[in-house]
Amino acid sequence: MTYVRCGRSGLKLPLVSLGLWHNFGGEGSGSVLENGRHMIRRAFDLGITHFDLANNYGPPPGSAESNFGKILSEDFRPLRDEMIISTKAGYLMWPGPYGEWGSKKYLVASLDQSLRRMGLEYVDIFYSHRPDPETPLEETMAALDLVVRQGKALYAGISNYKPPEARKAIEILRRLGTPCLIHQPSYSMLNRWVEEGLLDLLAEEGVGCIAFSPLARGRLTDRYLQGIPADSRAAGSGGFLKPEDITEDLRARLRRLDGIARARGQSLAQMALAWVLRSGKVTSVLVGASRVSQIDDCVGVTRSPPFTAEELAAIEAALAG
């Protein structure tokens, strides 16, 4: 594994981090828990030291943290100091006026609940998961500053903030004395909004960047090259990927990208991750997984050859269709 300094901080993150978003929940589900255990153990053996959660990860909300807490207690307790564990708050967790968004009341209460679920005294990174259009940004950032000063988190981060909001949040945190460590935006070949100012802003401010959904919810893999497998995420109901997201036009572009990847000696997933990391402005790619083999494949990005100008041009042409 390669470890990269996060912004101007003293913290290094693995080039590949593991997100526990959609395949680690399920209260009382032994098979889910054991599959999660296998994936986390394999990830750690491969050098993935950063495990990313949020209060609402599951489903149901909170169950990913609870399951991770069980695995941590039973398998990793002596290794806690070698792990970077992050969580977030911002999306709906409980009914009523204090169960989501960015108030100090919600953020502090949610982190306390997360710590209890995971059996931790502190998390390494605590994020504001999304900006709140009604709560003053000063209050949200003051809550991040507070939990760091209380020792409940070592570092503060933001997620899903557009450039103007991110710039203001970074300035407020710096003024409070708790620098913004990291921003977690979505970024992939199919979702490039961060290239319109955010990556440059983070580099200018010395803030790290960890990209979530770098494989576009599984679309940038070989899973959908020929269609929609019956056991795939897109074939299920009620998920974040739907059959209509896998169009024939997309499959044609994916097949062209896959050809470029094979010529580079890589899987499509490995090339997609390497592409996100290509500029050096992204500290780590945050991948999800439903089985160990997917983690093995993703970690292969650490052996990725540099892109040539011709390959980058071919990728742009394939993406443009």
Mean pLDDT of the chain: 94
Helix (H) or strand (E) holding 50, with range, is strand 50-52
Specify the DSSP element, H or E, that contains 41: helix 30-45
Question: Averaged over 19-26, what is the pLDDT?
Answer: 88
Answer whether 210's CB lies under 8 Å from 182's CB: yes
pLDDT in the model for residue 234? 67
Q: Please report which residue ranges of 128-225 form alpha helices under DSSP H.
A: 137-149, 163-176, 198-205
Average pLDDT for residues 120-126, to the nearest whole number? 98
What pLDDT was estimated at residue 225?
83
SS3 36: helix
**28 pLDDT above the threshold of 90:** no
| Main-chain phi, psi angles of 158, to 5 degrees | -130, 155
Is the torsion defined by CA of 40, 81, 57, 247 positive or negative? negative
For residue 12, the surrounding DSSP H or E stretch is: strand 12-14
C-beta neighbour count of 132 within 10 angstroms: 18
pLDDT band at 26 (very low <50, low <70, confident <90, very high): confident
Question: Alpha helix locations (H) across 46-122?
Answer: 63-71, 104-118
> Is the model's pLDDT at 29 over the cut of 70?
no
Provide the whole-model pTM. 0.94
Quick one: what percent of the chain has pLDDT higher than 70? 96
Read off the pLDDT of residues 58-82 as tens digits, 9 standing for 90 and up: 989 999 999 999 999 999 999 999 9
pLDDT tens profile 225-276: 877 776 667 666 556 777 777 788 999 999 999 999 999 999 999 999 999 9
Residue 108 pLDDT level (bands cut at 50, 70, 90): very high
Q: How big is the chain, counted in residues?
A: 321
Residue 223's pLDDT band (boundaries 50, 70, 90)? confident
**Cβ atoms of residues 303 and 292 within 8 Å:** no
Confidence band for 214, pLDDT divided at 50, 70 and 90: very high
Model confidence over 137-196: pLDDT tens digits?
999 999 999 999 999 999 999 999 999 999 999 999 999 999 999 999 999 999 999 999
The fold of 3-226+267-307 is TIM Barrel (3.20.20)
**Res 306: pLDDT:** 96
| Least confident window among 128-142, 190-204, 235-249, 294-308 | 235-249
- At residue 31, the pLDDT reads 85
